[in-house]
Amino acid sequence: MSQKVIILNVTKPDFREIKSYVKQFFGDNVLNEVNQEFKGTVSNIGINSEAGKEIEELKEIGLNNFRTRLVRQTRIVYEFNDKEVLVHMFIYTKRDFRTQLMKRILSM
């Protein structure tokens, strides 16, 4: 059974920033490819949310229903339950993941 995937409003600027960067440095063709990869991954998350990699930083504080998936150089961080998946952030792999993660997730 597929779960509904909701990309939170707080997450949308993350994705716009990624799209802008890709378009500026790699052009429209690569942007279209990347966009399709994100759509495919988000769709797959809705089908099999538990398949993502556990996030140790959150597991340590008892948040066991968070996972991450990688699309090229970007982590998709999401939370899931039986009915839905909430996408909390898109973050470039070269950024300080732990700091950004704690800032975003603990401010919920």
CA-based R_g, the chain, Å: 14
71-94 pLDDT, tens digit per residue, is 999 999 999 998 999 999 998 887
pTM assigned to the model:
0.87
* Annotated domain spans of the chain: 4-105
| Gap between the Cα atoms of 22 and 72, Å rounded | 11
Instruction: Determine the pLDDT at residue 97.
Output: 77
Q: Give domain 4-105's CATH number out of 3.30.460.80, 3.40.50.2300, 3.30.420.40, 3.30.2310.20.
A: 3.30.2310.20
Instruction: Determine the pLDDT at residue 65.
Output: 93
Q: Are strands 74-80 and 84-92 parallel, antiparallel or unpaired?
A: antiparallel
* Residue 106: band (very low, low, confident or very high) from pLDDT cuts 50, 70, 90: low
| Gap between the Cα atoms of 11 and 9, Å rounded | 5
